[in-house]
Structures are given as C-alpha cells and as structure tokens.
Structure 1
C-alpha cells in the first residue's frame, strides 16, 4: 500500500513539474544549424517550366545577426522568449550617452501627419542599423549619400529616399519622394513599420 502511494505521489510530482523544467532539447533551436541548399537542377533537355521560389529566403546582413536577440533558455538547448519584466528592465538601463547602446525605435507622426521613426542614441550606429534592416528586407538600395545619412531605395518599383535627421541624441527617420517631397503617408508608414518590426537592436 505504501509503495503504491509513494509511486503515485512521485508520478504526480513529476507530472506537475513538467518536461519544460527539465529542459530537454526539443529541437526548437535546430534552425540555427541550417545550411544553404543548392537549387534544384533539372536534367538537360527536359521540358520543365522555370521554377521561381514563392517565398525566397532573404539575405541577412551580418550586423543584423550579430545584434539579434538571444532567444534561448539558460542551458542553451531550447527556444525561450524573454520575460516581460526582463525586457522592461533592459529598456530602463539603456542610456543614449553610450555610442553603441541605442533605444528601441518609436513610430510617430509629425504635425502634418507624416510618419516618422524616432530613435534615441548615436546617429552613426542608428544609421548602420537602418541599412542592415533595409538589407534584411531585401529592398534594392539604389544610391547612398556620402555627406549625410540618406539612402535611396526601390520598393515595389517605386523609388524613395530615407533620411535620418538628428537633434542631440534624438533621431528621426523620414521617407521622401525623389523630388524631396514627403512620400505618400500610407506607403511611408508601411516602409517605416517594416523597419521597426525588423530592427536588429
């Protein structure tokens, strides 16, 4: 009787503890070990329609990978999202005085309702992150200014100019047309939202 009771008690404790606390490797980090696969080759002379990938894998800038968040548990064998409290503490300790430490971007609008992306921190670092994010989005960079933080990109066959302007540690990224007028508000908001969502820091 005592053996049955002890066995059932031990089983219930193990069940309540759950497998997650034991941190077994469940394969959720296998994506980090993936390698490039060679494109499918068809035999010569075969009548096959050319195949284009429906969802091509984007080319990711090494800077974006280097600054990507580490989503692993403490043992490093399972995928784990950070706790909300940890994220809040990290954002509080950020200081814009440090040239390598920048705040998360914020989507805003100016007085004329033109969308802006506001980022606190060092302008040069923010511009590097902006270019890395554009590269990860696979937008074609047509040209880049040598004198100021300005880049010309092609999005859906439309050319836009992204410009970073700064006052102190506060920086704003805005989207313009090629003639220096503000871009269409919806399209500019969409492009800035893509940058915001894929920001590497």
Structure 2
C-alpha cells in the first residue's frame, strides 16, 4: 500500500515539475540539423500551371551559421529565447536637455504641425511658455499634453503627440477634429515665433 502511494506521488511530482527539470530533450534544436531537400517533382501530365515556391528557403553561408547566436538553455538541450532587456520608460519621455527648435511642417493630408525633437515633458513646457508669450489665453487640461486656448473668439485645443524622440504639436477643434488649416497655421506660427530661445 505504501509503495503504491510513493509511486503515485512520484509520478505526480514528475508531471508537476515538467520534463525540463529532468533535462529531457524536446527536439526544439533539431532545426539545426536539417538538410536541404530537392523540390518535389510533379509529372508533366499532372501539372496544370507553372509551380513557383511561395517562400523559397534562402541559401545561407555555412560561416554565417557558425557565427550565429546560439539560443540554447544552460544545459544545451532545448531552445531558449533570451528575455528582452528592461527599458527605462522615463528616459524616452524626459531627457533633461533643451528641445530642438521647432519646425513648421505638414502631414500627408496637408495638416499644419510643429515638429520638435526632445523629451515630451520639456517640449510641453516650451509649448506652454510660447502659448503664454503669444497671449493665446491657455488653460491647462486634465491631460498633461492637451491645452485649451482661445483664438479669434473661438476655443481650440493644442495637443502634443510624442513619437520616440520626436514630438508633433497640432491644433484641434473642441470636437477633437483638426482645426481649419489657415487658423492652425496662424496659431502654430504664433507658437513658433514665441518659442523660448
């Protein structure tokens, strides 16, 4: 009776720990031993149209395979992809350096934008300062990258959109659509002209 309990407990523990704990090979590295196979020959009387490989296998230089990175686990018996490195999220949004001088640009639809390189928090501080200097009656919003302004007796929004190390500043109506191109160009020109040196 005790022997059966020990055997059952042993089997359960082996299944819970998994095969990798016991260094069993799962054939995940077999791709390294693969051989090139000749293409399938179809008899002429069965072939209705020309056959082309959809995804032809590239020819790889054997020296490149010798220098390729090896993705084995510590025991060398299983494929093990390395974990990605941690990314410092604050480094991409705040660099501490002064942003670049803005550029007046247009997107593919002809919408005027300001393009500024630098950390988004520093760029946003410069946008606030330029809006204040241009007397745009800026009002802070709950969102840190959106500002309410009043221009020619109408309300607009200025938004900062970060994308990597670059940022774009756009002018929007209160319904979250792009503002009229002429009005947006005038507002962005005011921000550009009052940009802190």
Give the TM-score normalised by structure 2: 0.51
**1:145 CA drift (Å):** 2.3
Who is 1:108 aligned against? Answer: 105
Who is 1:69 aligned against? Answer: none
1:145 aligns with 2:141: yes
User: Higher Cα Rg: structure 1 or 2?
Assistant: 2
Among 161, 184, 189, which residue is 1:188 paired with? 184
Who is 2:159 aligned against? Answer: 163
Q: Runs (4+) of structure 1 moved beyond 3 Å? A: none
**1:101 CA drift (Å):** 2.0
- Residues 187 and 167 of structure 1: CA distance in aligned 2, closer, same or farther (over 3 Å): same
Q: Which has the higher contact order (CA 8 A, sep 6+)?
A: 1
* CA RMSD between the two structures: 1.7
Q: Distance in 2 between matches of 1:171 and 1:135?
A: 20
**1:97 CA drift (Å):** 8.5
Gapped regions of structure 2 (runs ≥ 5): 1-92
Q: Distance in 2 between matches of 1:115 and 1:155?
A: 16
Among 112, 119, 138, which residue is 1:122 paired with? 119
* Correspondence 1:74-93 to 2 at 5 A: none
**1:146 CA drift (Å):** 2.7
Gapped regions of structure 1 (runs ≥ 5): 1-95
Aligned residues: 105
Aligned 8 A contact 2:157 2:171 in 1: yes
Give the TM-score normalised by structure 1: 0.50
CA deviations over 1:60-89 (Å, ceiling 9, x no partner):
xxxxxxxxxxxxxxxxxxxxxxxxxxxxxx
Who is 1:200 aligned against? Answer: 196
CA deviations over 1:114-171 (Å, ceiling 9, x no partner):
0000000011111111111111111212x32233300010011011100000111100
